[in-house]
């Protein structure tokens, strides 16, 4: 009986999308948060509802990882481009953990360089801390050359939220657009 009970208590096996994505056994609910998008409008949990959201944390002065990841996500959109149903309700959200330097205006110019549909988001340090802590995202100022010149170490994972605004999957090493597009397509097929 004990064996049966522990078997029952085990969470359902998450879908296997290959090495590129780690799907959570159960989608994770996150606390609400209060940030702003590049157009000046509030950006909280509600803005994740009704869409599949690829969310990525970084900063616009990031030398290579952020530009590379945003280029990859732009290509993911292109790869899914012939499937309006998939692209129609997906959004890419770039959240800056460098609110000191990344104004909303700067964010807007930056994200649209990669893709005009991308949304740049940032906010107060305390709101950013709250959200990143809930998601297990790490960031820390490093290599400070001057008050205006510094780098930030940060988690490079791309997080995928479902249309209920819950964390559904994590792309730990988001470097392969084809693999990400394929995993996303498979996940959508499994969920719908």
Partner 1 sequence: MEVNRIQGIFRKILQGTLLVGACVLSSAGYAFAGVEVKDAWIAEPPPGAMSAAGFMQIHNSDARARTLLQASSPVCKRIEFHQSIVENNIARMDELEHIVIGPNSTFALELGGYHLMLIRPEALHVGQRVKLQLEFDGGEQVIVEAEVRKLLPESEP
51 vs 163: CA distance, rounded Å? 4
Q: Determine contact, residues 161/146, Cβ cutoff 8 Å.
A: no
Using CB under 8 A, list all residues that contact partner 1. 60-61, 63-65, 67-68, 71-72, 75, 78-82, 106, 109-110, 113-114, 138, 142-143, 149, 151, 153-157, 172-173, 175, 177-178
50 vs 28: CA distance, rounded Å? 16
- Least separation in angstroms between CB 121 and partner 1: 17
Query: What is each CA distance from 179 to 1, 39, 72, 78, 163, in whole angstroms?
Result: 42, 32, 11, 13, 21
Q: What are the beta bridge partners of residue 121?
A: 37, 95
- Least separation in angstroms between CB 82 and partner 1: 5
Nearer to partner 1, 47 or 80 (CB): 80
- Least separation in angstroms between CB 151 and partner 1: 6
- Greatest C-alpha distance within the chain: 64
- Least separation in angstroms between CB 30 and partner 1: 18
* Structure token pair of residue 98: 């460098």
Nearer to partner 1, 26 or 142 (CB): 142
- Least separation in angstroms between CB 5 and partner 1: 35
Nearer to partner 1, 35 or 72 (CB): 72
Q: What angle do CA 6, 7, 8 make, to 5 degrees?
A: 90
* Residues contacting residue 60 through CB under 8 Å, at least 6 positions apart: 66, 96, 98, 101, 102, 106, 107, 110
Nearer to partner 1, 3 or 145 (CB): 145
Nearer to partner 1, 61 or 188 (CB): 61
């Amino acid at each position: 009986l004990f064996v049966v009970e522990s078997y029952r208590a085990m969470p359902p096996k998450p879908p296997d999308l290959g090495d590129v994505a780690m799907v959570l056994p159960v989608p994770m609910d996150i606390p609400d948060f209060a940030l702003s998008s590049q157009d000046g409008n509030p950006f909280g949990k509600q803005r994740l509802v009704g869409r599949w959201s690829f969310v990525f944390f970084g900063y616009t002065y990031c030398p290579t990882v952020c530009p590379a990841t945003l280029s990859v996500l732009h290509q993911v959109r292109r790869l899914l481009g012939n499937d309006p149903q998939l692209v129609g309700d997906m959004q890419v959200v770039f959240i800056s953990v460098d609110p000191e330097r990344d104004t909303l205006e700067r964010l807007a110019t930056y994200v649209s360089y990669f893709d005009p549909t991308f949304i740049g988001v940032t906010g107060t340090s305390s709101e950013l801390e709250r959200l990143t802590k809930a998601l297990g995202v790490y960031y820390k100022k490093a290599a400070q050359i001057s008050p205006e010149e510094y780098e930030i170490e940060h988690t490079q994972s791309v997080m995928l939220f479902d249309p209920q605004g819950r964390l559904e999957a994590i792309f730990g090493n988001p470097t392969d657009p084809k693999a990400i597009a394929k995993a996303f397509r498979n996940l959508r097929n499994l969920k719908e």
